[in-house]
Amino acid sequence: MNNRVLRWMRGQRDTGRWRNTDAMYRAVVVGVGLVVAGVLLHELVLVLFGAPLLISAMLAMTRPQPAEPVVHQPTLPRALEQSQLAEAVFDIDAGPGVELVALRAPHGKTRGAGPVHLLPGNVEQVRTTLGHGGWGEGVDLRLDRLFAGPDALRVYGPIVGTEGRRTILPPVKVLPAGPLPPRPSGLVGVHRSPRPGDSTELRDIPAFQPGDRLRRIDWRVSLRTSAATGGVMSPSALHVRERHADADASLVLAIDTRVDVGAHVGEWASAMIGNGVRAGGSLDTSVLAACSLAASYLRQGDRVGLVDLGRPQLSLAPGTGSRQLLKIRHQLVICARSAGWASKPVLRPQQAPAGSLVMVLSPFLDDAMVELTATVVRRGTRVLAMDLLPEHLIAAERDPWGEAVLRVLRAEHAVRLQTLREHGIPVLRWGDEASATLRVLARGRR
Amino acid sequence: MKHETKPPMRLTAGLPAWTLRGVVLCAVVLIVIVQARQGVGVLPLTIIAVVGVLSVTAPGTPAPAFLIVATAVATLAVSEDPFEFAVLALIPLVHVVHIGCALAAVIPGTARVHAAALRPAAVRFGIVQAVVFGLAGVAALVPKTVTPAALEVTALLGGAALAVLATRMILNRPQ
């Protein structure tokens, strides 16, 4: 008997098999107890109270014992665009004795693994959509499940499902790409190189020299020159049209993942639930800006790289093409996932190739960022700083020092931006017209 | 023969899980009201109300069982006629408490309940109540005379045998 009781107790703990619930024991014990007590005491009231429970239990026990129920999880894409939804259909193989299925799944526009749904047991397929919510990586599927017989008197489970992770890529906002400083090497691209080449843009009309191609001779200028010198066409009167060379350019997007701040200063120290990125905060804006800039410049054939200033090992070397854009978007999600405070931002010289433009995206909340940016400029690299501190900061309401702290923050921030400007670094805000600044940088020293 | 598969069910929001607990709470409130009108004392009513609230908040505990037993005992104490309206009203109410707690116990409080899932339980509830009221009708027709001792002993033994059989069926049921 002891062994039987122990086996029963073990069976009650085992969620991988059918077992009785508390409701079953309630139905049997209270039902039988009230009926027997009613008969013993000659009280019909007790019998009438106990009979429904007993009949329910008997009806549940007469149902066939279902087999092991299964939920099949479909194969789904690992990465999605933000506007894209993945349709998921789960096959439920429950069997005839199952009356209720409790299944955890997302519905509508809920984020994450979703709530548990109590469904009819005869449902064979359940359809839902995944991929709602903002960009980032997270678990959006975990099919926790429980199967129950009539009146939930017997259950199978709960069984914890396998986690389904998905990456929602940051959206791309196509921007007009401005001019960039051309790379000293390479003769392809859309940027005008200072060197002579084969583009259509006129560079100069010098006198003909040995080695110049005859088809480049500008006959109109040559005839005018010969007319000015007496009308005799001599070799010294010949002039050639010289054109600029085309060159590509490298853009290095350096994002500051060490801080993520929003408009409410009081919330700066609080951790975010979900993908860990504050919606509308500096990191969110950095990622969206980096994505859009990368897409714009890659589309015109430039080379774009990515540097995570907080975690240099997560950086991407400059590259071209749509595959590079996809790599950058995935890498931005990884950078945002690993984002967190690092005392010293790092941008190694080899991460910004010669001739490239480094665009630093940061809220510039500490002096280390200013020092780093100035150091990069001193190396001879052209740098553009993009300030991502929210424009309208709101002081912590409950803190009596909130307003004072905000004034100090603003003053320090203004000093940092001024320091950057004094180093010759243009400072822009996200959304500003950057073409004029970029043109100046592109024309700068070569 | 061609096997026809049902179209997939589109997952919607459904009803909040607290709907089930709300139904149990309504049943508990009605039980307390009916028993107060029957003349049940303040202390038993308080006990029933407290156990009722416990049943709503923790349906997977023995609280619903205590509630059903306490209701039956309190009704037995104050009721003289088993066929009066209050007693007949309490029978479906305690059954609702039993089923509502059984279903609410297997899902978390944040779950969503789809109405179609409750249809079989509702149909079974109706059938069971019809059987019980049929039983009450038969009992009302039976003459109220003293039952011979031999018949009573036989009935008792039969009840005990039923209880033992039910217990064995549960314990020995193939897993």
Burial code (b: 16+ CB inside 10 Å, e: under 16) for A414-436 equals eebbebbeebebbbeebeeebee
CATH number of the domain bearing residue A436: 3.40.50
Burial code (b: 16+ CB inside 10 Å, e: under 16) for B8-23 equals bbebeebbebebbbeb
Cβ(B56)–Cβ(B21) below 8 Å: yes
B12 residue type, one letter: T
- Give the mutation candidate from B21, B99, B113, B169 for the A interface (greatest A CB count, under 10 A): B99
Relative to beta strand A100-104, strand A116-120 is antiparallel
Q: Which residues contact A435 (CB under 8 A, 6 or more apart)?
A: A176, A178, A179
pLDDT 10s digits, A288-325: 889 988 888 888 778 889 999 988 888 888 888 889 99
**For residue B174, pLDDT beyond 60:** no
Q: Nearest CA to A39 among B65, B169, B82, B157? A: B157
Tell me how close the Cα of A35 comes to any Cα of chain B, in angstroms.
8
Tell me how close the Cα of A41 comes to any Cα of chain B, in angstroms.
11
ipTM of predicted assembly, 2 dp: 0.82
Is residue A114 in some structural domain?
A: yes
**Residues of chain A contacting B155 with CB distance shorter than 8 Å:** 39
In terms of domains, do A305 and A410 share one?
Answer: yes
CB-based contact, A102 to chain B, within 8 Å? yes
**Residues of chain A contacting B153 with CB distance shorter than 8 Å:** none
Residues of chain A with confidence (pLDDT) below 70: 1, 12, 131-133, 177-199, 244-248, 273-275, 433-436, 439-446
Alpha helices in chain B (DSSP H): 18-38, 42-57, 63-78, 85-104, 119-141, 149-171
In terms of domains, do A108 and A35 share one?
Answer: no
Q: Do B76 and A46 touch (CB under 8 A)?
A: yes
Number of Cβ within a 10 Å radius of residue A226: 16
- Of A168, A194, A217, which residue is a domain's last? A168
Is residue A144 in some structural domain?
A: yes
Task: Report the SS3 class of residue A304.
Answer: strand
Chain A, residues 54-73, CB within 8 A of chain B, namely: 54-59, 61, 65
If one counts the domains in chain B, the total is: 1
Tokens of A174: 């196509």
Tell me how close the Cα of B43 comes to any Cα of chain A, in angstroms.
21
Tell me how close the Cα of A39 comes to any Cα of chain B, in angstroms.
7
Q: Do B65 and A102 touch (CB under 8 A)?
A: no
pLDDT band, very low/low/confident/very high, at B1 (cuts 50, 70, 90)? very low
CB-based contact, A51 to chain B, within 8 Å? yes
Is residue B115 in some structural domain?
A: yes
In terms of domains, do A292 and A349 share one?
Answer: yes
* Domain range enclosing A156: 70-168
Is residue A300 in some structural domain?
A: yes
Least CB–CB distance from B69: residue in A11, A30, A44: A30
Tell me how close the Cα of A57 comes to any Cα of chain B, in angstroms.
9
If one counts the domains in chain A, the total is: 4
Cβ(B91)–Cβ(A45) below 8 Å: no
Q: Do A123 and B9 touch (CB under 8 A)?
A: yes
Burial category of A280 from C-beta neighbours within 10 Å (exposed 0-12, middle 13-18, buried 19 and up):
exposed
Distance, in Å, from the CA atom of A423 to the CA atom of A417, rounded to the nearest integer, reads: 10
Lowest mean pLDDT among A138-152, A272-286, B40-54, B101-115: A272-286
pLDDT 10s digits, A171-186: 888 777 666 666 555 5
